[in-house]
Amino acid sequence: MNSAFQHRFKLVTAGLVLGLFTAFGVTMVTLVYEKTAQRIAENQLLETYRAFDQVLQGQAYDNRPLDHPTQLAPVDWLNGGEPITIYTAKRNGQPIATLLSINAQQGYNGTITLLLGILANGTLSGVEVVRHRETPGLGDKIESHRSDWLKQFEGRSLRSPNEERWGVKRDGGVFDQITGATVTSRTVVMSLKQALSYLQELRPELFEQAEPSTSHSSDKPTVTLPNWVYVHQRLPDPKQGLLI
């Protein structure tokens, strides 16, 4: 009887110890995940604001654009028919630029996501490629760290050049195309023209009202990240084994 009791006691003790270790392990994994997820979100947020700074080309702003997104009505000829979210950069309460991301649908290997800034006068302050699957060594030269091809769009508007000349040189336009990647080049040019056209009539509404603005000393504002957060890492293409 005593032997049977001791056996049961050992089993119960082992079960309790195993349960405690399991609970401790689950708690630690949860804490590590939450801490890591928060750090990743903060890093992604900072990358997004760095991208904003790049497309704004040094234009200073003192608000947190991501805190106050504005969703515009979708149109079937831009962004794949999906709604467009814009963010307004302000200085001293005065809007200075609109920031938005668009998905160019007709890239050589699929969608090209672009981040662009449009100033109050309707000109492009800058453009950055957020993600793409274009061919390495050819279409990937749309990336700003691979070539200066995107710089030709800085300061451009629907008046410079006029809308008829918004195209690559092969199509009679004024913009250079990337050698060996005309489809990619054409897609980016046409998408930028479409974005400028879409926002042209909205500019008075977007820039006419000034609101109080508060300067923030923190470089890590806590906001919900948009689904197009700027990323530097290159992701594998499951179809081709390429990197984007």
pLDDT tens digits, residue range 48-62? 888 889 899 888 899
Q: What does the pLDDT read at residue 112?
A: 94
Q: What residue segments make up the domains of the chain, in order of their start?
A: 1-244
Q: Residue 69 carries which side chain, given as an amino acid letter?
A: P
Q: What does the pLDDT read at residue 215?
A: 38
Residues 191, 126: Cα–Cα separation, whole Å: 14
Q: Residue 30 carries which side chain, given as an amino acid letter?
A: T
- Which among 158, 101, 150 has a CA at the least distance from the CA of 126? 150
Q: What does the pLDDT read at residue 198?
A: 92
Residues 117, 111: Cα–Cα separation, whole Å: 19
Length of the chain: 244
Q: What does the pLDDT read at residue 244?
A: 29
Residues 168, 178: Cα–Cα separation, whole Å: 9
Residues 30, 131: Cα–Cα separation, whole Å: 31
Q: What does the pLDDT read at residue 205?
A: 81
Cα-based torsion angle of the residue sequence 208, 214, 229, 57 in order, rounded to the nearest 10 degrees: 70
Question: Is-cis flag, bond preceding 69, omega within 30?
Answer: no
H or E, element range at 89: strand 84-91
What pairs with residue 119 in β-bridges?
A: 97
Q: What does the pLDDT read at residue 28?
A: 66
Segments of the chain scoring below 50 in pLDDT: 210-223, 231-244
| Per-residue pLDDT tens digits for 91-144 | 998 999 999 999 998 888 999 999 999 999 999 999 999 989 999 999 999 999
Residues 103, 126: Cα–Cα separation, whole Å: 16
